[in-house]
Amino acid sequence: MSDKYQGFVSSPIGKILVKNLGLPNPVELDRYTAGDPLVHGTVLVGGTGRLAESLPGLLDLLGVASTTVAGDGQRFKGLVFDATGLKDAADLVALRDFFTPLLRSLESCARVVVIGTPPEQTKGGERIAQRALEGFTRSLGKEIGRGGTSQLVYVAEGQEAAATSTLAFLLSPKSAYVSGQVVRIGVHGKATTTTVDDWTRPLAGKVALVTGASRGIGEAIARVLHRDGATVVGVDVPQAASELQSLMNELEGDWITLDITGKDAPQRIAHHLKEKHGGVDVVVHNAGITRDRKLANMAPNDKGDRWTSVIAVNLTAPELITRELLDQGVVNKGGSIVGVASIAGIAGNVGQTNYAASKAGVIGLVDSFADELKDGITINAVAPGFIITQMTAAVPFATREVGQRLNAMSQGGLPVDVAETIAWYANPASSAVNGNVVRVCGQMMLGA
């Protein structure tokens, strides 16, 4: 499932056409390989806010080389600017003064992170300035080019130390297809700060449930969580039992075969996790289906009931399973719940009113639970854009090409990009990351 266009523009004739016609020119994105350092290069840190002094220490903890001074001709793999000190609109000029001299010094697939204070926790001119950071970072993400990304991280006061896992994710190749996103730390619920002993295996000793785990994005999620040390319990329909069992045997995990929309599915899952594993630490609601058709043609007696079946699998089942696991106390203290939404749930899509409603509902599920959860349990969501899978390979060529090119990366993402984002949420050190929805879409040109 390679990107043939990307291969073409790398050829001699392709390079000529790109230069002369201004065609999209996707670069090969850096992606993380187990055992690699988080950052291949140096990160420059700037700003005068409340995190400025501690940032070099946080990066050192991650094994990331950093500096606060740019030497002549020095190139950087990342830039981190602490904008928490910006108190009014006039202060925003500090963004230009810091970034403009440095942008031509960035290496390919560079990472830019701006740190701010949640606007809702500020007043007056400071609130205006902090909200302005969103427009800046999203625009920079569309300008930076060459596989580079730009993100905004709002850190609540008192939660400065909790930013470590988020910096590790956003500065590393793990966030290859994530750009133009806004992350909030310590904003929802009673935030806690947790540390990990081994950043290469932060989920060691943890149990992770992944629905729809037998193939595609679900398989990638299972593999990445296993890489990070988790015992994975995969869930899929009986028709996928052979693939599911084969994967779980490879990963030394466990499996449950059932229809998650069955009336007793939540109870069966809860019982299995409690009896065989003593609980669960990570719950990933990945299972999903599409039954596309324009709403005018989606009659109630439609074969398979396109509306009801999509809502049942994509939204109702995750809600009921989550409530059952929480009510029975199966989710362990400090656990993480992750829903897989979609860019369609944010921007909408023709012929997908049912799917878009279900995926927007997943975001609603996050909003509903974020302030209610106890014992340090968090809930977040990922919203994938165009991810190259067997399913998208069947999309008509023209539609597929548009889907892959209309983003800042000019290419589709891979299942591992979604999986890495979920692994960041699942990391115990992300215990203050709660109530977030992060798009894994290469920063699509449409959709907020």
Task: Give me the long-range contacts of 243-252 (CB less than 8 A, separation at least 24).
Answer: 243/214, 243/215, 244/213, 244/214, 247/213, 247/214, 247/219, 247/222, 248/213, 248/222, 251/222, 251/223, 251/226, 252/226
Q: So which residues are the catalytic ones?
A: 355
φ/ψ (deg, to 5) at 339: -105, 145
Cα(405)–Cα(130) distance, integer angstroms: 31
Residue ranges of alpha helices (H) inside 378-443 are 390-393, 397-405, 415-426
Q: 10 Å Cβ neighbour count for 159?
A: 19
φ/ψ (deg, to 5) at 32: -75, 140
| Amino acid making up residue 14 | G
Query: Which is nearest to 217 in space by CA: 397, 34, 384, 401?
Result: 384
Give strand pairing partners of 81. Answer: 46, 114
Asked if 208 and 225 touch (Cβ cutoff 8 Å), the reply is yes
Q: 10 Å Cβ neighbour count for 145?
A: 16
Paired tokens of 213 = 């785990």
